[in-house]
Structure 1
């Protein structure tokens, strides 16, 4: 499996309705995409979720074939044409735990951290699993790590907006495509 995400920082006066309309009109094009476990169309809206406007889709691919088809088969060209060349973050899923109502999630929290140098990584997966938030409102959890950068991100999916966190960690989910 492969995790993939790009972050498009938009101007502070950008009308986020443009992104909402884009996803409403085109989000279903990745529904049933071969090799895709899921794609979440994520945004952060200035003064609502963040200090800036961001479009940052998150993909989990079952294998590299689907991802390659998406990137090199013309589908990603729409991002290039609309937003320019984007750096794509790639990682390996360590944990994917999706409940039945994951498909109805409307918000996601992303928490990122570094994997510090240590003499053994044997306990790392267990420490991440233990650190996963146990939250009754959570309908899905994903942890993706990147050994090239020695970083990891944990994603927590919710039906309702989670409270009590920094705005910079919460995304709105506009659509979830399943492969």
Structure 2
């Protein structure tokens, strides 16, 4: 299983209704996409207190083969064409809990932390799970991914109502595609 996300930072005066329309018109194209566990179409807006306007889709793939097909067989080319070359962050899911009704989520909190150098990694999963508890409670799902290349982990939690973000990044979910 693999997670991927690209974060497209848009100008502060960018008309975010363009992204909303884009997702409204095209979001369902990834519904039931082969090998895709889910894709959350995420945006943040500086008008809502975010640091910048962003479009930041989050994907979880069943395997790297399907993710590679998406990237290299033309599907990702739309992003390159419309927004330019973007770095894709790749993560390995450590914990994933998505109830059937997780598609009801309208918001997502994201918090990234460093995995500090240590003589053992045995306690890391437990420490990352504790990090989940520092975010507001949610019954719509959670995901922890890690990247050993950067020694970072990212915690994602899904919400039906807008949570208090604290020091986490808050995104609005425009659509969730899944099986």
Would the TM-score normalized by the shorter structure come out above 0.5? yes
| Alignment correspondent of 1:130 | 130
TM-score of the aligned structures, taking structure 1 as reference length: 0.95
| Alignment correspondent of 1:146 | 147
| Alignment correspondent of 1:108 | 108
Paired with 1:164 and 1:76, the residues of 2 have a C-alpha distance of 30
Q: Runs of 5+ in structure 1 lacking a partner?
A: none
Tell me the CA shift for residue 55 of structure 1. 0.4
The 5 Å alignment of 1:57-76 reads 57-76=57-76
Aligned length: 178
Tell me the CA shift for residue 165 of structure 1. 2.1
Paired with 1:37 and 1:164, the residues of 2 have a C-alpha distance of 26
- Which one is further off, 48-57 or 11-20? 48-57
Tell me the CA shift for residue 126 of structure 1. 1.9
Q: Runs of 5+ in structure 2 lacking a partner?
A: none
Tell me the CA shift for residue 30 of structure 1. 0.6
TM-score of the aligned structures, taking structure 2 as reference length: 0.95
Q: CA 1:30–1:84 in 2, change beyond 3 Å: closer, same or farther?
A: same
| Alignment correspondent of 2:50 | 50
State the 4+ residue runs in structure 1 displaced beyond 4 angstroms. Answer: none
- Which one is further off, 73-82 or 132-141? 132-141
Tell me the CA shift for residue 135 of structure 1. 5.0
Tell me the CA shift for residue 123 of structure 1. 1.4
